[in-house]
């Protein structure tokens, strides 16, 4: 702390403010020594003073303004007050009080003679949500789970290691209807969440999050909003102590025609404002059943005691209907039929704006391999269930196998990233387990020994290339499946060699503790999920208390990525905030909810050994799998990324990217784990 800063006690923690501008720069708790819950300018060059906590901006019908340096600043033993002259007729006063709790009140006053229409009002809350390394993330960073649902709004800053206390912000006066992200672009890249702004409204994207209200500040009038922050051991205690949600929704997703139950929790009646697609049936004084025959997100508005709030439900078509329509679309639109020879069997992304397949050998995340193999794997899982057109699927799969053998699998069983890649390029280890799965499925579908051998050889090549130092998605499950196949074929020695390699892989990662290796992102949910799957498979192949203990310790790391928000796109869905840029056509950074790899959490929860499981594991897993069905359209088209914030770096968002790319993994996992 410098002489220009002052620290106040805040419960069992502390808050430090800069006395030059009155902003909060450091928030700490005794049980998280050395951890600042906020971004630090000395450590993060892209975080600078104008983005500090409590600063912000507004847009009016005529012009915009930011508040940064106050015109007046008063400091006392309990906190401080700041006054900002935003525009000639708009004044903002900010009051911060510290003690057992930390509370803030913002009052915007129109001192002019004409009414002012507010297009957007955003306040910076720069939670320390970023990935410098796994070890640093787990010891000193937090996930920020945001809910802007009107009068019922909050932020939950939860340490990435999944242990409390966490920092909870609860809105106590006013309404928040959206959040936006700043500082997300190619310069800052994939390793940061960005600056999070909480909004009273953000009509830069009027439709965002169910609709952004029009705010008018009349001449001579004031508009105030307040929130309180405190420390809590878990979200349940935060919710029970400070939040007081108006309703409870045990489930947020249902098939068309099936009910979702809404239970009133406040003492007065809650009025429901329903979209025309949703019907309500009151089952009791406190419980209402909601259902819809139309697929899609349904926003339900709530009113009680002069307050307004909103929740988001998902009604979806039956899984078989979604899969069969999607397969029809894939076969008709996403094979590169304009190519010659076996290359015509490749599956590629499809731009739904222009009804045009994408050719992007120069952009690896649009390639004709890598994650795109989810499309033929989806065909395989449908074929196993006799879903879809049998003959068309068989022809497509046989042709794709020929394409793989011609273009993607080298003689030494290395998997290439696309059909244009030089075979001497460095292999991408992520690709190997997916192609193992593809050839295993081919073997089980059509009984060709060559396919089974290819699956085994690709897996062995993965380990030859140093795969035990890497956490490829699906590697543990693929290795288990190959071991089983080899045992069935009587190749016991080969099976035992792979078993030994998997156990060595698990023990290597176990020895690293929190110092996990960086992958394409330094630290992310799709590193922790494969780690847990590896430990689960090791426990299956060599039961040991050390694996059970390790799973129990690391499971909170995985669960910490996801929040409890009352919206089907958010609840239990792991934060991912770069996939729209890499995989989408809009090249838009920002939170992607849901991103299909959130299904990895579901797979972990459904494979947990009994000794390390949790009571709600199955319920949470099915909620994740169901939520991912939102990205598939009635006509069989799809989106690879729904960028959730209202804006990202000032660009309107809350939008489904038009590229159908790699999202079919969500359907693959639904078929693998949710239904038979």
Q: For residue 410, give the DSSP letter.
A: -
How much of the chain exceeds pLDDT 70, in percent? 99
pLDDT tens digits, residue range 540-591?
Answer: 999 999 999 999 999 999 999 999 999 999 999 999 999 999 999 999 999 9
Write the CA distances from 240 to 31, 150, 168, 244, 393, integer angstroms: 22, 18, 12, 6, 52
N-term to C-term CA, the chain: 59
Instruction: Give the residue extent of every domain in the chain.
Output: 5-243, 247-316, 561-676
pLDDT at site 182? 98
Q: For residue 474, give the DSSP letter.
A: T
> Are 5-243 and 247-316 the same fold in CATH?
no
Let me know: does 397 contact 445? Beta carbons within 8 Å: yes
Angle (nearest 5°) at CA 136 between 544 and 617: 45
pLDDT at site 676? 40
Reported confidence tier of residue 2, pLDDT bands at 50, 70, 90: low
3-class SS letters over 179-208:
EEEECCCCCCHHHECCEEEEEEEECCCCCH
Task: Read off the pTM.
Answer: 0.97
Let me know: does 516 contact 139? Beta carbons within 8 Å: no
* Angstrom distance (rounded) from CA 337 to CA 344: 4
pLDDT tens digits, residue range 433-481?
Answer: 999 999 999 999 999 999 999 999 999 999 999 999 999 999 999 999 9
Half-sphere exposure of 328 (CA within 13 A, CB side): 14
Phi then psi for residue 65, to 5 deg, are -155, 150
Could you please state the CATH topology (level 3) that the domain comprising 5-243 is classified under.
Beta-galactosidase; Chain A, domain 5 (2.70.98)
Q: Average pLDDT over the chain, rounded to whole?
A: 96
Q: Does domain 247-316 have CATH number 2.40.50.140?
A: no
Element (H or E) spanning 72, and its range? strand 72-76
pLDDT tens digits, residue range 207-242?
Answer: 999 999 999 999 999 999 999 999 999 999 999 999
pLDDT tens digits, residue range 251-300?
Answer: 999 999 999 999 998 777 899 999 999 999 999 999 999 999 999 999 99
């Amino acid at each position: 702390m410098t002489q220009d800063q002052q620290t106040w006690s805040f419960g069992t923690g502390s808050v430090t403010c800069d006395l030059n501008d009155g902003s909060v720069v450091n928030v700490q708790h005794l049980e998280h020594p050395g951890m600042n819950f906020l971004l630090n300018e000395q450590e993060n060059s892209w975080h600078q003073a104008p983005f500090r906590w409590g600063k912000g901006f507004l847009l009016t019908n005529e012009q915009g303004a930011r508040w940064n340096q106050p015109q007046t600043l008063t400091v006392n033993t309990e906190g401080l007050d700041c006054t900002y002259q935003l525009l000639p007729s708009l004044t903002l006063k900010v009051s911060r009080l510290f003690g057992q709790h930390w509370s803030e009140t913002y009052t915007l006053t129109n001192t002019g003679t004409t009414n002012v229409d507010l297009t957007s009002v955003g306040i910076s809350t720069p939670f320390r949500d970023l990935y410098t390394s796994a070890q640093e993330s787990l010891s000193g960073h937090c996930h920020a789970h945001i809910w802007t649902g009107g009068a019922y709004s909050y932020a939950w800053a939860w340490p990435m290691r999944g242990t409390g206390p966490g920092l909870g912000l609860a809105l106590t006066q006013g309404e928040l209807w959206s959040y936006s992200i700043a500082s997300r672009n190619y310069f800052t890249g994939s390793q940061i969440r960005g600056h999070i702004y909480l909004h009273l409204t953000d009509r830069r994207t009027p439709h965002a999050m169910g609709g952004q209200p029009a705010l008018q500040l009349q001449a001579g009038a004031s508009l105030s909003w307040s929130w309180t922050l405190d420390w809590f051991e878990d979200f349940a205690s935060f919710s029970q102590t400070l939040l007081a949600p108006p309703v409870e929704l045990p489930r947020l997703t249902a098939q068309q025609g099936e009910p979702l139950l809404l239970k009133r929790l406040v003492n007065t009646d809650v009025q429901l404002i329903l979209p025309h697609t949703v019907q309500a049936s009151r089952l009791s004084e406190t419980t209402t059943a909601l259902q819809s025959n139309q697929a899609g997100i349904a926003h339900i508005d709530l009113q009680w005691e002069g307050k307004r709030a909103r929740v988001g439900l998902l009604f979806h078509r039956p899984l078989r209907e979604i899969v069969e329509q999607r397969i029809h679309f894939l076969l008709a639109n996403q094979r590169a039929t304009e190519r010659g020879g076996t290359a015509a069997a490749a599956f590629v992304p499809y731009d739904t704006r222009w009804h045009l397949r994408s050719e992007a050998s120069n952009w690896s995340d649009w390639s004709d391999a890598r994650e795109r193999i989810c499309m033929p794997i989806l065909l395989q899982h449908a074929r196993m269930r006799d879903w879809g057109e049998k003959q068309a699927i068989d022809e497509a799969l046989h042709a794709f196998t020929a394409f793989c053998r011609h273009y993607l699998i080298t003689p030494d069983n290395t998997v290439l990233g696309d059909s244009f890649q030089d075979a001497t390029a460095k292999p991408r280890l992520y690709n190997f387990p997916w192609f193992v799965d593809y050839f295993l499925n081919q073997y089980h579908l059509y009984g060709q020994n060559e396919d089974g051998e290819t699956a085994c050889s690709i897996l062995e090549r993965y380990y030859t290339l140093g795969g035990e130092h890497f956490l490829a998605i699906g590697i543990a499950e693929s290795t288990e499946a190959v071991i089983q196949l080899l045992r069935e074929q009587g190749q016991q020695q080969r099976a035992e060699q792979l078993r030994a390699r998997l156990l060595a892989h698990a023990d290597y990662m176990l020895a690293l503790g929190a110092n996990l290796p960086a992958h394409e992102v330094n630290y992310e949910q799709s590193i922790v999920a494969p780690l847990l799957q590896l430990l689960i498979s090791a426990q299956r192949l060599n039961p040991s208390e050390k694996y059970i203990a390790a799973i129990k310790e690391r499971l909170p790391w995985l669960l910490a990525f996801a929040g409890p928000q009352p919206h089907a796109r958010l609840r239990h869905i792991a934060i991912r905030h770069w996939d729209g840029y890499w995989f989408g056509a809009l090249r838009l950074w920002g939170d992607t909810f849901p991103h299909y790899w959130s299904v990895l959490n579901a797979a972990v929860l459904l494979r947990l050994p009994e000794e390390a499981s949790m009571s709600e594991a199955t319920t949470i897993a099915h909620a994740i799998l169901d939520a991912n069905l939102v990205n598939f359209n009635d006509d069989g088209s799809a989106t690879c990324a729904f960028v959730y914030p209202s804006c990202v770096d000032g660009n309107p968002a809350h939008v489904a990217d038009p590229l159908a790319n790699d999202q079919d993994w969500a359907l693959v996992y639904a078929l693998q784990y949710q239904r038979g």
